[in-house]
A and B are shown apart, each in its own frame.
Chain A
């Protein structure tokens, strides 16, 4: 049973560039989450998928952010026109089940640095 994987692990980009991150959840997990974590803080929720449907988005997710989960498997998070404030660790998590939030299993994260 492989865990949640994320690619790339590190990304350095220049302000104004677009970046895309990928998350592969644990197989058969129907839920997938994206979080953002800055230094010294806990993860902050960005968005959530149940299968291929994006069911919830945080107000943190500006118009420059978009997430997809085609076919309910892997997910991508794209940030357009990156800003220095986007520098953070982007965490993906997956879980199995319906109803009340169950245990989420986290990936190693993608660390983004915007210069």
Chain B
């Protein structure tokens, strides 16, 4: 089974500033995707960004980008120009051939106006 560690239970950021959420994982898979999901207080999980492990280029989606270090098994999420709507729980989730996702315990992000 995979393990996922999100070492920051809570983070805060000033509106318009940048914040980085960390995630490390352990997997024996060679081919997999990694995902960041956001869960606002309404609790519906929303995909933020996806990274394919065989791609060296880090994924970017508008204000969201990742720093993927495959050898270190690290997958951090950077949010630029933070907005109030970014406040949520963020979960890191590596997927794999087992077809299930293993989620971390999450990071609660507060955006300060």
Which chain B residues border A33 with CB–CB below 8 Å?
100-101
Counting contact residues on chain B (CB < 8 A from A), the size range is 20 to 34
Instruction: Check A40 for interface membership: any CB of B closer than 8 A.
Output: yes
Q: Which of A14-22, A65-73, A75-83, A101-109 contacts B (4 or more CB under 8 A)?
A: A101-109
Q: Residues of B with Cβ closer than 8 Å to A? A: 4, 31-33, 35, 37, 42-47, 50, 91, 93, 95-106
Q: Residues of A with Cβ closer than 8 Å to B? A: 31, 33, 40-45, 48, 50, 55-56, 58, 89, 91, 93, 99-109
Find the A residue at minimum CB distance from B105.
A42
Closest 5 CB pairs of A and B: A101-B95, A42-B103, A106-B45, A45-B100, A108-B44
* Most chain B CB atoms below 10 A, which of A55, A56, A103: A103
From A100, A105, A108, B47 is in contact (CB under 8 Å) with A105
